């Protein structure tokens, strides 16, 4: 049971939940850009939540060579033969799961491609997508929690307030930012109101997924799953963990609105 890649546009890789516990050696967690969408696709074919699946940032055309049970985070179906088109639009990412999980070698505890570390590779025309025949999950066919769409992305301010002008956070929440086509799994570049820096020099400090770094030009970069573990640009705020998927799901060219998230509130919700 396998699929053959006919054509891949954009970035198409195998992703799972990522590698935990290697930040200290310079390797970020990696894994799916939109974790809840990976879970939704896997649940639709009764896989474990973070089984390896194909992450499509763009468009993927596959041909089924034998009957295969597959699903994306939007639809589930059984395909006997013929071609299938999977497009991430109208969001930034979509996931193709096949029953049993996508077969890919586990490296440092994960099947996720992490291109900055040359782990795994990009799926291109001719690549085969096989089932790993992993165990079915006991809680099959329950849907993943739906993301709340449309509302603002909450941000915990700081920690580098000294490196910014006093109105930096006000600027960040003042108007929507456009998601730049220069975005990738390392960073999502934003175009919008300038977040003004102070004269404090750049200083290399530890980072985290969802951190909003600001280079000298004032146009923010949100760190994605393959981010460097330290970075020289100051961090004006960090997207709340509960809102990361909603942010990374916004398509290239779409708009993101930020608001100040209250940590006590997000604690109460978790």
Partner 1 sequence: MNFVTVPLVERLGDRALRFARPHAAPARILEAVKAWPGVIDAVVGATDIAIYFDAEPSEDYEARAAELATLPSEATVGREHQICVAYDGEDLAAVAAATRMTIDEVIAAHAAGTYEVASIGFLPGFAYLDGLDPRLELPRRETPRPRVPAGALAIAGTQTAVYPFASPGGWHLIGRVIDGPMFTPEHGARLALGDRVRFVP
Provide the binding-site residues for partner 1, judged by CB under 8 A.
20-27, 107-108, 114, 116-119, 156, 158-159, 203-208, 210-211, 228-231, 235, 237-241, 261, 263, 266-267, 270
Token pair recorded at residue 17:
């939940």
Which one, 15 or 94, has the nearer CB to partner 1? 15
Instruction: Work out how close the CB of 36 gets to partner 1 at its nearest, in angstroms, rounded to a whole number.
Output: 15
As given in the structure block, the two tokens for residue 104 are: 């890919």
Closer by beta carbon to partner 1, 88 or else 183? 183
CA distance 151 to 95: 23
- Indicate the residue among 80 and 162 with the shorter CB distance to partner 1: 162
Nearest approach, Cβ of residue 220 and partner 1 (Å): 14
Task: Decide if 220 contacts 163 (C-beta within 8 A).
Answer: no
Instruction: Find the DSSP H helices in the chain.
Output: 35-44, 168-172, 244-248, 263-269
Closest contact distance (angstroms) between CB of 206 and partner 1 is 3
C-beta of 81: minimal distance to partner 1 in Å? Answer: 35
Q: For residue 55, give the nearest of 83, 36, 34, 70 by alpha carbon.
A: 34
Query: How many other C-beta atoms lie within 10 A of the C-beta of residue 144?
Result: 18
Closer CB to partner 1, residue 68 or residue 119? 119
């Amino acid at each position: 049971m396998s699929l053959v890649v006919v054509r891949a546009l954009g970035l198409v890789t195998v992703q799972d939940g990522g590698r935990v516990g290697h930040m200290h050696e310079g390797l970020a967690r990696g894994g799916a850009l939109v974790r809840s969408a990976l879970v939704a696709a896997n649940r639709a074919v009764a896989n474990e939540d973070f089984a390896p699946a194909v992450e499509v940032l763009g468009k993927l055309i596959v041909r089924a060579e034998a009957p295969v049970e597959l699903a994306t985070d939007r639809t589930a179906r059984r395909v006997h033969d013929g071609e299938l088109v999977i497009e991430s639009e109208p969001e930034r990412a979509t996931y193709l799961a096949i029953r049993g999980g996508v077969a890919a070698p586990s490296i440092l505890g994960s099947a996720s491609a992490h291109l900055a570390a040359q782990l795994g590779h990009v799926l291109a025309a001719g690549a085969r997508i096989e089932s790993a025949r992993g165990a079915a999950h006991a809680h099959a066919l329950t849907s993943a929690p739906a993301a709340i769409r449309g509302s603002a992305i909450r941000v915990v301010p700081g920690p580098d307030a000294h490196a910014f002008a006093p109105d930096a956070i006000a600027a960040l929440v003042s108007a929507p930012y456009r998601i730049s086509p220069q975005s990738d799994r390392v960073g999502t570049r934003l175009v919008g109101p300038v977040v003004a820096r102070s004269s404090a020099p750049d200083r290399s400090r530890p980072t985290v997924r969802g951190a909003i770094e600001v280079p000298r030009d004032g146009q923010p970069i949100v760190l994605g799953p393959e981010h460097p573990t330290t970075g020289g640009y100051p961090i004006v705020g960090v997207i709340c963990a509960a809102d990361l998927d909603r942010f990374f799901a916004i398509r290239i060219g779409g708009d993101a609105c930020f608001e100040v998230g209250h940590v006590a509130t997000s604690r109460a919700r978790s």
